[in-house]
Amino acid sequence: MVGRNLVPMEPVTWPAPFDHPDWLFQPKWDGVRILAHVRGPEVRLINRRGRERTAHYPEIVEGVRAVLRGQNAVLDGEMVVFWEGRPSFPRVMRRETAAPGGPSLAVLRRTLPATYMVFDLLHLDGRELIGLELEARQELLRRHLVAGEPVLLTDSFDQGSRLFAAVEERGWEGVVAKRRGSPYRFGKSPLWRKIKVRRRQPCVVGGFTVASGGVVGSLLLGVWREQDLMYVGRAGSGLGGEEREALARVLAETVQPECPFDPVPRMRGPAVRWVAPLLSVLVEYGEWTEGLHLRHPVVVGFNPVPVSACRLP
């Protein structure tokens, strides 16, 4: 069997969706990358950093045993938690951070069940497959993996533009384009391309930074996680000069000494002002980080929804 501490194949960023007969296209799942190492009844789940995740997803261990029927294999896929019809990265991170074997994991297994979306096969019954063409690996995967909840196969499509439009409409993360006839290459490779959807999230303004001239430098953003306002990052992009001046006047009326975020983010200095959580903004962003911060948020609107509706997706 190939080594267990493997760096899975990663796509390079591509600027726009495209169509080409030499490429096939798959949905990009907003989850945690996992290689499943199977030796008969033994299943080990390893993330892209080589860390064991077997105890975090007991339902997936049971599911992989069932769908492979005792074969030896290495599967590549994404661990996903679906919420309201969409993969939710914040919710799969709750599964990632739950103590293995603890009571909270037992509850989360019922309330946030995981799904393993499999898209490649690296090894099967003593045979390494990484040198095979992509289509051959896909055919072996369909033939030997008897898919069923919670272990499912990722579908492939011929038209990248149509798939991108469909995932964008559903609020999914994006599309991965894969070169037909290509082998599996560990690490980042141009044989795979990722085209990501810029998504939107309503956030609560819980503070701001003061720039030169007394205007707003950036807004400190949060979303509600149950009853707590969780800090998710800062955004200054998208704000024009007049908006920064107007925000400074409006937010000055709600400044308070107490930080509204729980836990309190690590911010210091006289340029930081906390405010009562009364204003909501709409931000466009690239993705959630593992620390549950918004990557590259840009302000695109104000008061899109009530403050109470700004919650984790």
Q: Is 28 a catalytic residue?
A: yes
Q: How many secondary structure helices (H) and strands (E) does the chain include? A: 6, 18
Residue 149 φ/ψ, nearest 5 degrees: -45, 135
Q: Are 86 and 169 in contact (CB under 8 A)?
A: no
Identity of residue 280: S
d(CA 182, CA 132) in angstroms, rounded, equals 8
Looking from the CA of 102 toward its CB, the CA atoms found within 13 Å total 8
What does the CA dihedral 289, 294, 298, 300 come to, rounded to 10 degrees? 130
Q: In the chain, helix, strand, coil percent, each to 5?
A: 25, 40, 35
Catalytic residue chosen out of the listed positions 28, 178, 188, 196: 28
Exposed, middle or buried, 106 (CB in 10 Å: 0-12/13-18/19+)? exposed
Q: Which residues form the catalytic set?
A: 28
